[in-house]
Structure 1
Amino acid sequence: MPIVIGRPTDPRQDPDAATDGRLSVVVLAPRGRDAAVAVDLLGKVGIPSIVVRDIGGLASLIGDCIGVALVTEEALAAGTGDRRLIEALSGQPSWSDVPFIVLANGTVHHRPARAGMAIDALQNAVLLSRPLHAEELVRSVRSALKARARQYEARDRMQELQMREAQLYESEAKFHAIADSVDQIIWSTQPDGYHDYYNSRWYEFTGMPQGSTDGERWADLFHPDDLSRTWERWRHSLESGQPYEIEYRLKHHSGEYRWVLGRAQPVRDAEGRIIRWYGSCTDINRIKLEEEQRRLMLGEMNHRVKNSMAMVHAIVSQTLRQAESLDDARTSIQSRVGMMAQAHDRLVKATWTETSITEVIEAALTPHRMKDGRIILEGPDLPIGSKQALALTMALHELATNAAKYGALSNDGGHVRVQWCETPCGNEREFHLNWTEADGPPVAPPSRKGFGSRMIEQALAGYFNGSAELIYKQDGLVFELRAPSEGLSQQDNGFV
């Protein structure tokens, strides 16, 4: 049975009506039996139809899921609801263009202007002159329905593409959000290695404008010493498909080069062909600096241990060679090695860099300052390097021990004055240190120089890159050290 609509049902409220009407024919033939004949004819070939009574009813269905409109010329000429129909046709979505079949009056040779304008306003219309053969009407309707079906197919395809585009946009938005939230630099290339994406961390790190490093222009940011081997490794990965990994220096926006770890993995399709490379750069500059510091520290420690062992060996061998008895040797060795250990403790607290010369001198002489005023210290608080501090500690210990045994500290009235200062010397400055003994027993030069004397004059001079001299005055021993001021902290001298 045909559906007769005075006020059409809203297909959005009746899904079945929308489905049935999707490729149905809307018939507007208000006079005679045209509507009944058309409905009956179409029903026999399985084409559903909907009958409306006026143009307003037709206009209300244009926006719904209908197939073809079959309209008589006189219905259009009546003019009632023309404006609604024009508005409905203009409001169709981009994919929709409802086809019209207009049953024209074959006996009319001069169509009224109003009727012609109404037909033209339909935009997508064909005319069939009456009387017409049934087969002609059916073929025309089927042809229009086929064209309409293709419009629906285009709509479905467009909606699918729009959905996929929305999904792709959402996926890209998630990727960018994730890529820009990590601390690492993320990048990707085409199969041939052409760089076409960097996350925001790349531009923040390098300070380069967006897009300015696409292609191969990223290579301009590599340290010149690292560029050749980096290119070689990257080309090898592109040719072999093997993962890419290398450490290199990359120019930071501050202008300095920072170490990064570059990695990349290929993405392959179902046939195993590489379709993209995805990579990252991790800032490892602090790790590299710490590794270098550890390497230097281990090398320095090895050097210091060797020097210390050499000094211990010299102390033991020289002391044993010159001691009058094993007890004397044992006492001297314990004293000297103990003082050396105390000096090491102070240097460890100062992280083996620089310490205070005042602290070094006071610590070296504290065990010998039994009474106030016996040892007088005068001089500015200058920085002194670790090697120089160790050598000076050992030298002062030897001088103080000798003074306690044979010199100014061996009686009750003697005293020692230690003075140090810096003085101008041409365009540079010179360091002076003097050890002066007074009011002790008469002094005479020794018949032979022992370990202490050689260590004071030779080793100490070598550490400070200067000169050292013991002067045996009759009224007291004097020791003089002269060196350029930079000799207080230079680090290249070894134990002589």
Structure 2
Amino acid sequence: MAEGRGLETDRAALLARYDLDAGEFATLDQITAFAAALCDAPIALVSIVEEQRQRFLARTGLDVEETPRDVSFCAHAMLGDAIFVVPDAAIDPHFADNGLVTGAPFIRFYAGAPLIGWDGTPLGALCVIDARPRDDLTGLQRQGLALLARQVMVELEGRRRDREALARQAQDAQAVVESDRLFRTLADTMPQMVWSTLPDGYHDYYNARWYEFTGVPVGSTDGEGWNGMFHPEDQPRAWTRWRHSLATGDPYEIEYRLRHYSGDYRWTLGRALPIRDAEGAIIRWIGTCTDINDQIAMVEEREVIAHELSHRIKNIFSVISGLIGLSAREHPEIRAVADDLRERIMALGRAHDFVRPHGPDSQPDHGEGRLWGILDQIFAPYRDGRGARILFSGENPAIDDRSATPLALLFHELATNAAKYGALSVPEGRIRLQVEREAADIRIDWREEGGPPAVPATSQGFGSRLMQLSIERQLGGRIVRDWRPEGLSLSLWIPAASMSRGRAERA
């Protein structure tokens, strides 16, 4: 009993999907009329059997719209695969006492073709009825009735699909509305300004934060009106960057000055990413604007302080050099030592000047942040009328404030020794400096040519200890020396990470 109740519940749910209560069954009316004519029967019905009743979606020759299920012939017809025929209901033990046999419409002959749903569920029957008994339908009538029953289901299935399609469209539309509502709610609660454009870049949405920041009327910056909110100097650059993103699909990112409701322009970071469909086509751009004016002002203040501090450090180098010179004049016996010390301090000053923060008026002439740049300053005193005597080749790696000091001391010491004892001590002498990447190290080869033969040191002096301290302890590298007849050959291996912190981060 419970199982039968469950089946009826499933049938009821299925029937509801056919939208039978909507009426308008003109096509089914034409089918019943043709079925009656084909089978030479006074009555033809499209009957849908429900739990308590059978109702007639279309009928010919009968005014009744429904009857109780317990007297339904179609409830039997729908359970088979073939046409169900009752030649004479008055003598059939299953129907002789049926109210539709003993009373109107006084059924004697019945033939019904089952109506089966798309999932195999029996729904009812297309039937023809006569008040006089008959042996059977002809072969043509059977074939025609079965074809008409299938046409009934084509009509009903079409209604079901149409109804479900409309329901899906309504759900999709509601989902879009709900998604849009959630997006706007989320966007309005964000601290950033949020905006959206169509694939061609037409701006069609800004969140509440945008209007709070700019103070412009709602909708006034739609389309291309947004560019007028930027500082006039930033507008061409913003347009160029935005057109590039629209043409290529590349992410959009730019800093510009955006007009605040107060009338001031504040620095803003603008970003946007494309939203793509399953095929990869851009369907929308979603962007944000973040107020970074305070951060930029803070960075500028820090740069001013750094410049001032660096300037004072440079002055300290000058003061120390002056004190050494003054002491040397008062004590001539230490002049040689004092001169060496002052040259080393001046090398440190040049290293500091090279890597310290600079303003537009104090930038180094060239090579800022690169090895060749600082070496060019260290070796400047050794140029002659024929040009540089120390020749660079190979790579030009980045350096920073951490490596500049030991490198300056090292190469100052090498150049000083070369000027006293090596290749730079004679006019025709030259030094070749080759720089290349070797695994995780920067290799630097110092080759002296055209000078006197190199003579190995019999003891380790201050200069040698200074070079060892600079390379091995401060930079974590190593040195190999070779005293050749044609001049000193020296190779350095310095970890790239020790040359520049930025290089280590990129690696």
User: Shorter-chain-normalised TM-score: which range?
Assistant: 0.3 to 0.5
Larger Rg: 1
